[in-house]
Amino acid sequence: MDPNHAILFEPVQIGPVTAPNRFYQTPHATGFGWQRPQSGAALRGVKAEGGWGVVCTEYCSIHPSSDDSPYAFLTLWEDADIAPLAATAEAGHAHGALAGIELWHGGFHASNRMTRVPGVGPQVQPSMFHLPATTRAMDKADIRAFRGWQRDAAKRAKQAGFDIVYVYAGHDYLPFQFLSRRSNTRGDSYGGTLENRARLLREMLEDTREAVGDTCAVAIRLAVDELHGPAGICAEDEGRDVVAMLAEIPDLWDVNVAGALGNDSKSARFSAEGYQEDYIRFVKTLTSKPVVSVGRFTSPERMVQQIRNGVQDFIGAARPSIADPFLPLKIREGRADEIRECIGCNICRAANNEAVGLRCTQNPTMGEEWRRGWHPERIAAYPRRETALVVGAGPAGLEAALTLARRGLEVTLAEARRSLGGRISFESTLPGLATWGRVRDWRMTMLAKLPNVQIYRESRMAAGDIEDLAPDHLILATGSQWRRDGVGVVGMEARLFERSLTPDDIFAGAKVTGPVLIYDDEHYFMGGALAEKLARDGHRVRLVTPYPQASGWAIYTDEQGFIQERLMGLGVEIIPQHMLAAQGTDTATITDTMGQSRDVPCETLILVTGRLPDDGLWQALHTRPGTARVGDCLAPSSIADAVYSAHRHARLLGEADTPPRRERPPHKGT
């Protein structure tokens, strides 16, 4: 271990328990929830095995009036919930970690679709998401009942074996709704002054300590700034006052910015590593208790700086622990160059927002620990000494080559270009996306450590070349190209736009002149990122899309609002709910949802609609034994899907491709 990193491995006392080091996996969603406890336990267990000193669950509902369906959440509503959650605590303890649980009530953020229980909150308030429902105002009897729900859930958490029990007052959930004057206009002892608005939070902390504080640490997760300025809680005003008011009551402060979850888990496109520091730095000056916060930390030097500068006592992480569950162990063993760094793409957040299991661009084993038995650092050796040729060194090709080599095959990787990385090498040049290059860089670093890999650059392979080499296994990772016919998500009719460009042309250096029209019928990052790039280059840019907003799919990565705000700030004209109809000499014709057409200035038309696989080699060689295609060559999609596709093929090579295990309720015979 580098002596400079030794401070990260010091034990830290948290009330009645001691964390073995300063690596703290803060609560984060998995998409598994109460329905899939074995998957959740296995995922957290791998984190503990990788050296995280504290491993926390996702949000755990304390009562049926806090139901976030269809999103996956844990429950401690009744004693029957104890045993499934005990598996997660045991998985952490098996590797020496403390286990934390985040008790949660959503207030007007919970629509209660499954339980159909009316929602409760500090005041009459429309429910925040998806249903035209209204949350009813809690009276004093409701508040007493709510405090009882917290106490009962805390006692069940203790029975399940958890070491740290949370009071959750962040991300706009119920205790925070009482705290913020934006959502609390009550006139009784739970409203008005900050002391009154903080009353429920104080009572919850005291109730939880009384219930479990003899053996469990009591943590508070608090948003010290909701990023709404003086109208709400802000760090330089009431955020500071709340911390001062409650400073010594909890055993640990887990602090962040909030309002919406997207502010806390902001993508790398809109935030740098450690970006929350300016908001939370003050907390340690007001309390003697340990403090943890997040910031997408991947650099050991930055982590050490956080501790030495007195910003926090732990290195809090959600996304970096997903990208590399073994990050702490790699630092301890002096292998920091092997850290699979989070790229901040927020595909993990997209999984949660789509109500599916966790996935990660960098770590294709994430979420597969139980259902497929995959481990991020261990993989079965291939039973025979055989050769593999991987054609294409984009994200899929690099992953396929690395995984096959780790299994012991003799691997040859051939790339037509001088540079490796494929689409990543181009996409990472777009504004804010430089961290995406880590997908390429980590795999190149790991490949360089393996003696059974040969890499050939500037080696475009033809079918005859491959036949001459006669590898035992041929993996085609030749990628994809952007479509020129305008076929996208909404517009499915192929048309001819003779003078149009695609993102491939822009990356190849095509000349852009005059007014630019970007037609985005793909709706992820590319259309908005190109619009930002060209606007920064000084072009007049219009972004036309059939969706109601720019980069509509990016709502799942918590980026859509930030993208739209940035484009508007750069003067990009966003024209939503319009289809591209025709391209003229210096105009383009667009049509709205009512069928009304109009011409807009357009000298350069860029189509961002869909992609087609570069599968010429596949068409020529698919009948050859041992041939497979992966990544975009198989089905153009996200980088995460390309990496997963390649990893899955390489990991299952020589094995039966059986369906993944599914968690099912026990069968009861009649």
Q: Residue 416 corresponds to which tokens in the numbers above?
A: 């037509």
How many distinct helices (H) and strands (E) make up the chain? 22, 28
Q: What is the C-alpha to C-alpha distance for residues 499 and 585, in angstroms, rounded to an integer?
A: 9
With a CB cutoff of 8 Å and minimum separation 6, the contacts of 616 are: 478
Which of 24, 71, 166, 173 does the annotation list as catalytic? 173
**Listed residue (352, 359, 349, 422) closest to 647, CA to CA:** 359
b/e for 490-514, b at 16 or more Cβ within 10 A? ebeeeeebeebbbbbbbbeeeebee
**Listed residue (656, 645, 659, 658) closest to 400, CA to CA:** 645
**Listed residue (214, 212, 186) closest to 200, CA to CA:** 186
Q: What is the C-alpha to C-alpha distance for residues 636 and 480, in angstroms, rounded to an integer?
A: 6
Q: Which amino acid, 118?
A: P
Evaluate whether 633 touches 478 at the Cβ level (below 8 Å).
yes
Q: For residue 519, indicate whether it is catalytic.
A: no
Evaluate whether 153 touches 215 at the Cβ level (below 8 Å).
no
| E strand or H helix at 257 | strand 252-257
Evaluate whether 104 touches 59 at the Cβ level (below 8 Å).
yes
Query: For 239, phi and psi rounded to 5 degrees?
Result: -60, -45
**Listed residue (519, 475, 514) closest to 647, CA to CA:** 475
| E strand or H helix at 277 | helix 277-280
CB atoms inside a 10 Å sphere around CB 421: 23
Q: What is the C-alpha to C-alpha distance for residues 581 and 603, in angstroms, rounded to an integer?
A: 15
Evaluate whether 169 touches 176 at the Cβ level (below 8 Å).
yes
> Taking each helix axis from N to C terminus, what angle separates 140-160 and 82-93, rounded to the nearest 10 degrees?
50
Q: What is the C-alpha to C-alpha distance for residues 587 and 648, in angstroms, rounded to an integer?
A: 46
With a CB cutoff of 8 Å and minimum separation 6, the contacts of 287 are: 243, 247, 248, 253
Q: What is the C-alpha to C-alpha distance for residues 414 and 465, in angstroms, rounded to an integer?
A: 11
Q: List beta partners, residue 629.
A: 476
Q: In what order do the strands lie in the sheet with 587-592?
A: 578-583, 587-592, 597-601
What are the catalytic residues?
173
